Structure 1
Amino acid sequence: MSGHGFHVHGPHDHELEHASQHGASDRFAGRIAVTTATLATLGALFAYQGGATQADAMLFKNNAAIKKTEASNQWNFYQAKSTKRALAELGAAWSAGERGDYYRKEVERYQGEMNVIKTQAEALEAEAKVWDERSEAQMHNHHRWAQATTLLQVAIALSAIALLTRRNWLQWGVYGVSVVGTALGIAAMLHF
């Protein structure tokens, strides 16, 4: 702008002037702005839930690994008792009298201990399986949240393009992608 009444401005200045004069009646921009803000809010919530389910899945997988390690320890203990039982059987076969009776009692004791250890090991393996299944379910849910978040991010990007190009068909594309993303978020919330 010069001091002699000659007015020159760039395209950005023209848009700002146009928006200030006609902004209140620009329903297209208003709809896109509200849609974008809503999608950003939903996207943030979905992203949070996706992170939470991923953390849960890792925690459950860790619990499964702990139970598998405990089961492995029990199976090692079982194997040690089995070896001792086998040695006691050998002692019973080679010994007579009181010494043979002692080894036969040891065989029975080791067999009883092995039965208890086996039961504990199998229970720990079953617990590990349950934790693994819970982890898998959480990972499936995490993928649903991630898909929903991604689609909402795509819809936000489409909103920007629709606003810049002022294409109504793109606005409908935003709504379509948003509905699919929201549906996936609802599916994740309902654990589908």
Structure 2
Amino acid sequence: MPDEIEVETKELQEAIREVHDEAAELKEGSTWLKYIGISTAILAVFAAIGALQAGHIANEAMVSRMESVDLWNEYQAKRIKATMYMLQVNDIKDRAASSPYMDGYEKKRVEEESDANDIKPKAERLAKDSEHLMRTHGLFAMAVTMTQIAVAGGAIAALTRMKSIWIGGMLLGLIGIGMILMGMFS
């Protein structure tokens, strides 16, 4: 009989040790889940900031593009007017005629060409600005995608209790955050 009691005590001690180990694992898992929650919330904030910036920059790019197109239209109109005045002057010269309008036509041609030459660099600058803004928009869009995937990875890691998924998501999220910061300072 005393041997049986000893065996039961050993089994009881082993069971108690297992319960303590499980409790420690649960506590460690609970702490780990808090880190997942905090990191996922931070990633979500960066994703929101990136999405807001992406939308804002896309709007700026479109406005720059429209202003550029308007200036190019104005440039073309000025060039057409200058050509029309030049044709009038040449027509008068070809007919060997004298016209009180000839000097006025020549003056207007020079004005239109001068105006067109002033407009052209502005239109080119706006077109380049628009292209730069669209590249920056693309950077933000990619960054938002990466941070959103990282947030999803955090949720999957919390549900499956797989740290490797969380770590992979965090790495992707850090790349996304880096891209957001690059976009903000470019």
* Same-fold call, TM cutoff 0.5: yes
Rounded Cα–Cα distance in structure 2 between residues aligned with 1:180 and 1:124: 41
Q: Do structure 1's residue 69 and structure 2's residue 73 form an aligned pair?
A: yes
Identity %: 22
Specify whether residues 180 and 25 from structure 1 end up closer, same or farther in structure 2 by C-alpha distance, changes over 3 A only.
Answer: closer
Residue 111 of structure 1 and its aligned partner are, at CA, apart by 2.6
Q: Do structure 1's residue 149 and structure 2's residue 148 form an aligned pair?
A: no
Q: Is the CA contact (8 Å cut-off) linking 1:88 and 1:106 kept in structure 2? A: no
Rounded Cα–Cα distance in structure 2 between residues aligned with 1:81 and 1:87: 10
What amino acid is aligned across from residue 171 of structure 2 in structure 1? Answer: G
Q: Do structure 1's residue 53 and structure 2's residue 46 form an aligned pair?
A: no
Q: Do structure 1's residue 40 and structure 2's residue 41 form an aligned pair?
A: no
Equivalence for 1:18: none
Residue 57 of structure 1 and its aligned partner are, at CA, apart by 0.1
Q: Is the CA contact (8 Å cut-off) linking 1:32 and 1:171 kept in structure 2? A: yes
Aligned residues: 161
What amino acid is aligned across from residue 82 of structure 1 in structure 2? Answer: M
TM-score by length of 2: 0.80
Residue 129 of structure 1 and its aligned partner are, at CA, apart by 0.6
Question: Structure 2: any 5+ residue segments left out of the alignment?
Answer: 1-25
TM-score by length of 1: 0.78
Question: Structure 1: any 5+ residue segments left out of the alignment?
Answer: 1-21
Q: Do structure 1's residue 83 and structure 2's residue 87 form an aligned pair?
A: yes
Equivalence for 2:171: 176
Deviations 1:6-32 (A, max 9, x none): xxxxxxxxxxxxxxxx68970111111
Residue 108 of structure 1 and its aligned partner are, at CA, apart by 4.1
Which structure 1 residue ranges, 4+ long, deviate > 6 Å from structure 2?
22-25
Equivalence for 1:17: none
